Structure 1
Amino acid sequence: MSVVSVIDYGAGNISSVSNAIWYAGADVEVISTPDEVAKADRLVLPGVGAAGTAMARLRSSGLMDALREMVFDKARPFLGICIGMQVLAEELEEYGAGAGFGWVPGTVQNLKSHAAERQTVPHIGWKAIEVNAENPLSNMMSPKGVYYFCHSFGLFGTPLAQSTATLDTFDGCVAAIGFDTVVGTQFHPEKSQNDGIQFLESFLAWKP
């Protein structure tokens, strides 16, 4: 059984993510230091709360630099969930957070700026997604799948080359990304029942 390293940086729902990964077929280790990241074979960065706070913790702890080395220099498969995906963006508007990791083009913006009349923010609940079939990593998700979202900010302006799915609301907010050895989801696979487990199984089987 493969081992997935789930990163605990004080802003993630570690228990539920770890349980879902185990259910999908992998052993889980929870790690929290750059040295532990350097030994990982497959990495998951969960997250709930504010992207700016998460970004500050990841930068000050040295985890941001350690992840960059493992993902881009050593080609370790990486999954970012919710805030764990948002911090990968070039820019984070939330609370004046400034620059993100810069791994993926785009800006994380308040959904209120993109909401139609009667659309509520935060966006909470089950939602179908529009899969970008042009991106080969979109096959990790079911085109007919329904996934659980809980967020007030979202990623916008990401090209199709990096975007694997979008919402049909909020001006096409990015629902998932995929490129090189990186995948990320705005939705919570650990809360998305069968479709979420299927996605995690695909991530575990993925050999970029």
Structure 2
Amino acid sequence: MLTVAVVDYGVGNIGSISRALTVCGAKPLLTDREEDFKVVDACVLPGVGAFGDAIGLLRQRNLDKILEDQIIAYGIPILGVCLGMQLLATTGLEYGEHRGLGWIPGTVRPLRPTCGERIPHVGWNNVDYEVPNPLLADIPPGEDFYFVHSFHFAPDDPANAVATTPYCGEFVSVVNRGNVYGTQFHPEKSQAIGLKLLKNFIRLSEES
């Protein structure tokens, strides 16, 4: 059974993500200890709330450097979820300008309604893609996932944008660069299709 670290930094749905990983056949490990990140097979970075507060909490616990040294440097698969995906960016523009982790270059910007859409974007919406990605294996384009957010991640390199969602025009809902993955939606709240995505992530970890 693979061990998946769930980064515990005081922000995020760590309980629901841990339960979903267990259902998918993995062993979740809620941790902020450097020694734990040295032995896990994969990592999930959750997040709920504001960009600035979350990145500040990560840095207070030195988790930005720990994850860089023990996960990114060794090519361990890591999945950012919702705000956790946004923290992967270079810069976040939520209530000021904040420096992100920079693992996928890009900027987190506010959603801008184009046809009277409500902000925040809450509920089920489809995820579309053209180029296959192992995180979305056996998940047809157009499947619905559950979203709760007011900001979106705009990658600098279009190749890092794996999938998009039609809301406020269109925003990127899945990103990937090397061993770093992110979903703007909550797979742990997206029922069977969300569990399928988490199983794909676990399979990635088995193959890495």
Q: Distance in 2 between matches of 1:132 and 1:158?
A: 19
**Partner residue in 2 for 1:67:** 67
DSSP-derived class of the 1:178 partner:
strand
Question: Which segments of 5 or more consecutive residues in structure 2 lack a partner in the other structure?
Answer: none
Query: SS state of the match for residue 170, structure 1?
Result: coil
Q: Partner of 2:5 in structure 1?
A: 5
Q: Aligned match of 1:163 in 161, 164, 177?
A: 161
Distance 1:59 1:142, change over 3 A: farther
Q: Quote the residue 2:20 is aligned against.
A: 20
RMSD after superposition: 1.7
Offset from partner CA, 1:100-154 (integer Å, 9 cap, x none): 011112211111xx21131000000000011141656543743132100000111
Measure how far apart 1:81 and its partner are.
Answer: 0.3
In 2: Cα distance, 1:187 partner to 1:104 partner = 17
Q: Who is 1:180 aligned against? A: 178
TM-score by length of 1: 0.92
Structure 1 CA distance, aligned partners of 2:159 and 2:46?
23
Which residue of 1 is the match for residue 187 of structure 2? 189
Q: State the shift of 1:182 in Å.
A: 1.1
The answer to which of 27-36 and 187-196 deviates more is 27-36
Of residues 194-203 and 23-32 in structure 1, the stretch that sits farther from structure 2 once superposed is 23-32
How far is the alpha carbon of 1:62 from its aligned partner?
0.7
C-alpha distance in 2, partners of 1:77/1:205?
Answer: 10
Task: Please report the TM-score for the alignment, with normalisation by the length of structure 2.
Answer: 0.92
Change (3 A) 1:7 1:115: same
The answer to whether residue 193 in structure 2 is matched with residue 205 in structure 1 is no
SS in structure 2 opposite 1:68?
helix
**1:99 partnered with 2:112:** no
Note if contact 1:134-1:160 (Cα within 8 Å) is conserved in structure 2. no
Q: Deviations over 1:44-99 (max 9, x none)?
A: 11111111110001112110111112233211111110011100101100121421
- Give the residue type in structure 2 aligned to 1:5: A
**Partners in 2 of 1:140 and 1:100 — Cα distance?**
32
Aligned counterpart, 2:144: 146
Q: CA contact under 8 A between 2:115 and 2:168: conserved in structure 1?
A: no
Q: Is the 8 A contact 2:104 2:155 kept in 1?
A: no
How many residue pairs match? The answer is 206
Say if 1:140 and 1:203, in contact at 8 Å, map to a contact too.
no
1:40 corresponding residue in structure 2: 40
Q: Deviation at 1:158?
A: 4.0
- Whole-angstrom CA distance in 1 between matches of 2:179 and 2:155: 20
CA distance in 1, matches of 2:85, 2:138: 16
